Amino acid sequence: MLLIASRDDTTVIPGNTRRLAARIRERGGVVEERYHDRLGLVGLLAALASPLLPLRSVLDEIDTFLRRQAAGGAP
């Protein structure tokens, strides 16, 4: 599972993401965490929209993760 969060987010605080990742790992799951400094929740979601090329790094992270999973790789 890929969890992407903002260090500055007040909607979904980074601690929630860290705790979710820890629980997934405790139950034997595989999780990769990515944190961004300048994007909040809306910015992270907006990064998935093709017109917002300056935010492309988020989309690239998702693409890299999915390609690695499809190839059978671990995080």
Q: Supply the range of the domain harboring residue 48.
A: 2-70
Number of domains in the chain: 1
pLDDT at residue 37, as a whole number: 87
Does 47 fall in a domain? yes
Q: What is the pLDDT of residues 17-57, one digit of tens each?
A: 999 999 999 999 999 999 988 778 877 877 777 666 666 77
As given in the structure block, the two tokens for residue 42 are 């809306």
Does 75 fall in a domain? no
**pTM of the predicted model as reported, rounded to 2 decimal places:** 0.68
Q: Which residue has the tokens 């690239």?
A: 60
- Of 51, 22, 9, the closest CA to residue 59 belongs to 51
pLDDT of residue 75 exceeding 80, the answer is no
As given in the structure block, the two tokens for residue 68 are 């690695």
pLDDT at residue 72, as a whole number: 82
pLDDT at residue 32, as a whole number: 93
pLDDT at residue 29, as a whole number: 95
pLDDT at residue 50, as a whole number: 63
